[in-house]
Structure 1
Amino acid sequence: MKNWKPSAPTLLLMPAIIVLAAVVIVPLALSFYSSFTPFRLTRPETFYVFVGFRNYANLLSNWDFWIAFGRTVLLLTVALNLEMLLGLGLAMLVEKATRGQRLLRTLMMFPMMFSPILVGFQFKFMFNDNIGLVNNALQSLGLASDAIPWLIDGRLAFIAITTAEVWSSTSVFAILILAGLLAMPKEPIEAARVDGCTPWQTFRYVTLPFVMPFAYIAMTIRSLDVARAYDIVKIMTDGGPAGRTELLWTLVARTSYSDARMGLANAMAYFSILLSILFTVYFFRKLAAARNQIGAEW
């Protein structure tokens, strides 16, 4: 080490590397190691007991974990499709605007500026069965005679959480798809009109294939967010009622802090990372296919 003389770039990067290792790499290594131990927060000595893959094997027979896993996949699928459709429609409306387009783009970004905790509190109030805006509006319009228990019934609570997720993140799809629409050349659309294509055919075979790569980028970003959804669910329902809205990361938090079973919780966390990886790989492949299609047709 005495004869080792680091280069100037290495010396300049060394502080960042040390901070990165202390803040990211070391905690990840410790949490990964603890997933192979029966570590409990109330018994620190269990951190040094190595049990191999026992925690991961226990997950295979943990019914609560697989229900939370399936519910997370369901939320991810429903939320991404709704955000895609609403974002596409919103982007096309803004792109057609002849005046005030910059103002519309700014307003379109507002929902994604709110923190998930604030969104959770906002929608928890809106879906309150006694004083919530949703029930008051439905009763005022005569669409409901009694208050609807949005956050008490399991299925309705899941719908409320999905609504909050879609409202807060549809702008991600809208912004990226709008960027694709603004970058799209006009010649193919004009050629389709000259050939007698209807507006639907022009959208289906010209516009949509061009903007799909932008949509897949948004899907990749949002799949990582939804797969580790926690804040909104924690604030609105805390996984209730009776665990009917328990997702992967709310279950991980409950296992680690409420039950103090940190080793098992870390095993759940690393297992659930596979969900994020699978969706990321899937959307990257779809993105590559869409780009190849555009390159071949355009």
Structure 2
Amino acid sequence: MLKPVVRYGYVPFMLLGVNGAAIALVASGASKLWLVGLLLTAIGCSFAAERALPYEAAWNSPDGDGGRDIAHAGVNELLLLISVGVIPVLAATVTVADLWPHSWPFVPQVLTAVLVADLGITLVHYASHKIGPLWRFHAVHHSVKRFYGFNGLMKHPLHQTLEMAAGVAPLILVGLPVDVASALALAVAVQLLLQHSNADYRVGAAKYVLALNEGHRFHHLKWAGVGDVNFGLFTLVWDHLLGTFSHDPARRFTSEHLGMAAKPDYPTAYLAQLAEPFRASGACPAEPPDTRSPSGSGQ
């Protein structure tokens, strides 16, 4: 009974339940500390779903990366909270014109912020696979060898900051309210947990529109060029427009397909990963001589 609940109920619970609770709390004027509690709840549910219905059972077992992933998650979530805290200061100094639709109901305001942020984050993500200096920092995220919820929070803090700046800066310029920003910050964290989840959930035809784990696994294929697909954070709309959408329902993923083929020995310790982009060894070839994956790649 538990497996069908996770398979078909986990995504609605996270997207509508957790995000809906955040929206209700923020709209009611409740303390923002409640969002921290919701985030911890989402993380707990992520781990529980992965153990109840794993896509790949081996990905539930730490491989010397548990402490590192916790460090990445803690630092990057703290950065998200700090960014929300400084929005009133930024809004008071850099807002070009207060064009934000304050009169709209709160839910449409949050959805608008999500869609605008999705475009900015997707474009930086796309550029990070094409521009060498950006790839140096983004490579930290692609060094993972097991695909589970915390992977979404495993990013170099400078790259995380750049992505969020690209997503939020246009919103601040038009007067983004701090309450909407707070709901957006939690939505980003929830989405990253869902997108990298090891839970074998199903969303039907929505997998062609929503940027969830079934499509995002293709993005983590280790061969350069082959993994340059499905860049969206919240949606795959921009991937369809960019021509970077990819999906093959017959494809099965294991740890052998993940990581970076051009740099299989990427550092695994947290501090070493923070330092690697600044080292001469921090870059790897953008396009190896053969960018094709073994047969059955679905590309």
TM-score > 0.5 by shorter chain = no
Larger Rg, first or second structure (1 or 2): 1
Q: The TM-score by the shorter chain falls in which range?
A: 0.3 to 0.5
- Higher share of residues assigned helix: 1
